Every structure is written in structure tokens, then in C-alpha cells.
Structure 1
Amino acid sequence: MSISRAMTYAKMNTVTGIDSADPHTLVQMLLDGAIEKINKAKYSIKSQQTNKKGEFISWAISIIGGLQASLDIEKGGEVAQNLNDLYEFSVQHLVDANIENSEEKLDNVLKVLTNISDGWKGIREEVVESKKNNANSL
């Protein structure tokens, strides 16, 4: 398979995954995407690719902004507020990392997002079970 075909397949697989994903999976995909972009920004700092670093950090900020915008503080209460605070911290550290070329600040954000992602993965089973129970009660 040629590189071009492989890339097309990968893009199609991602789009198909998004089309068939439930909201819980979409959040997980966004978290994974932000983590990936931050890791690419770290590599860009190491390889002195300033433009690429800025692009990857900007992309990560956009993803986190989308996650933050999806929070319902009123319904989500303390958990949603805590996530909001963590997202604010992450965005600020990403901005600072971009300005300072700081891998340390990128690592701080990676720790936060990885913890959120791990927690999100951990509640997956609860979400699926809850949906089954709600569907059965209709």
C-alpha cells in the first residue's frame, strides 16, 4: 500500500470513528488529540521548528477550548468546575510554553490531560451500563 493510500485510509478511519462515536468516546478522542498535539509540540521544540511548535500548541488550545465549552457547570457541579479549572490551567500553561519554548510547561499540561483521560477511560464502563439501564427503562 502506498503512503498516500495509507494516509487516506487513516483519515477515513478517523472520520468513520467520529461518525459512529458516542459522546463519551468523542471526549476521549479529543483528549487523545490534545495529548498528541502537545507531544508533537515538544518534539518541535527539540528540533527547533518554531512554526510547527506554535501550530501544534494552537491546535491543542483549540481542542481544550472545545472540551471546556462543552462543560455544563450548572448540571456538572463541582466536577465540571474542577475540569474547567484544569482546562484553564492547561491553556495558560500552553500559552506560556509557546512563548518560553518550555518543555516543562508542556509536560505539566500532559500530566493534567493524561490524568483526565485516565479518569475518563475509567468511567467508560459506568457510562455504558447507565445507557443500557436508561434504554431498558423506556
Structure 2
Amino acid sequence: MFSSNRYGAKAYSMVGLESGVLGASPHKLIVMLFDGALAAIANARHHIVARHIVEKSTAIDKAATIIESGLRASLNKEVGGALALTLDTMYHYLCQRLLQANLTNDVEILDEVSLHLRDLRDAWNAIEHRPDDGVNRTLK
């Protein structure tokens, strides 16, 4: 009746992920994007060391897609002003660095991108914990 335990575990994790996304605030969704990109980069780093070229490329592509289609696409440059424009430039730079890491199998570049993403995620998390002073801090 059931094909395998692995399929069931994967389906269960997908339900958990979908539930987390559906119940998340816009702020939490951005954190989830940062975390997803960081996990993909860590995965790519592992595959570079293990010389798994196809898997490395897939992981780097996933990280770049999260940055480009998730983080960068969520910026509203009209409302976010200079900060949104700076983030847009940073996200573009990070995607370019990921492309270079993919071409050269350079784990140091992946470490650099991870460092920037962690810094941005930590700053984003700090915004959530600041007392509300009536200022809209979102970039959307």
C-alpha cells in the first residue's frame, strides 16, 4: 500500500514545512529564506569537499534562487529607499559570488557569502525584537 518509509518521512517533512510557511509572519518568512540559503550553501560546501560536482551545482543554484527570487524579489525599492537599494546591490553581489564559487569550486567564496547572509539574518532578527516605536521597518 505504501511505497517506502522514506516517502512517508519526506511527505511528513513537507507538511511540516508548508505548515511553518503558512503560519509564519512576513518577518519570519524572510528569516526562513535566509536559513534556506545558508543551508543550501552549507550543502554545496560539503559537496565541493566530497567532489560531488552535480550535487554542488544543484545546491548553489538553490541558494542563488532563494537569494534572487526570494530575498531580492521581496524588496520594495520605492518604499524601502536607500536600504532596499543597498540590499538589492548586496543580493546581486552574493549571487555573482555564488556563480564564481560554482565555476571554481571555491569553498572560501561560499564561506564569504555565508558570512554576509548570517550578518543580514542577524540584523533582520534584531529588528523583530526592537520595541515598536510606530516606524514601519519592513521593506515591502
TM-score range, shorter chain: 0.7 to 0.9
Partner of 2:41: 38
Per-residue deviation, 1:4: 4.5
- Point out the more displaced range, 72-81 or 25-34: 72-81
| Distance in 2 separating the partners of 1:38 and 1:74 | 30
Q: 1 or 2, which has the higher helix percentage?
A: 1
Per-residue deviation, 1:9: 2.3
1:118 aligned to 114, 119, 122, which one?
122
Q: Note the alpha carbon deviations across 1:8-51, whole angstroms, 9 max, x for none.
A: 32221111000111111111101100000000000000000000
Q: Note the alpha carbon deviations across 1:92-115, whole angstroms, 9 max, x for none.
A: 000000000000111110011000
Partner of 1:65: 68
Per-residue deviation, 1:3: 4.9
Per-residue deviation, 1:72: 1.2
Q: State the TM-score, normalized to the length of structure 2.
A: 0.85
Calculate the aligned-residue CA RMSD, in Å.
2.1
SS of 2:129's equivalent in the other structure is helix
Partner of 1:101: 105
| Distance in 2 separating the partners of 1:91 and 1:4 | 32
Q: Note the alpha carbon deviations across 1:43-69, whole angstroms, 9 max, x for none.
A: 000000000000001111110012111
Q: State the TM-score, normalized to the length of structure 1.
A: 0.86
| Distance in 1 separating the partners of 2:133 and 2:16 | 28
- Point out the more displaced range, 47-56 or 62-71: 62-71
Partner of 1:88: 92
SS of 1:123's equivalent in the other structure is helix
Partner of 2:26: 23
The alignment covers a number of residue pairs equal to 131
Equivalent position amino acid for 1:53 in 2: K
Where in structure 1 are there 5+ consecutive unaligned residues? none
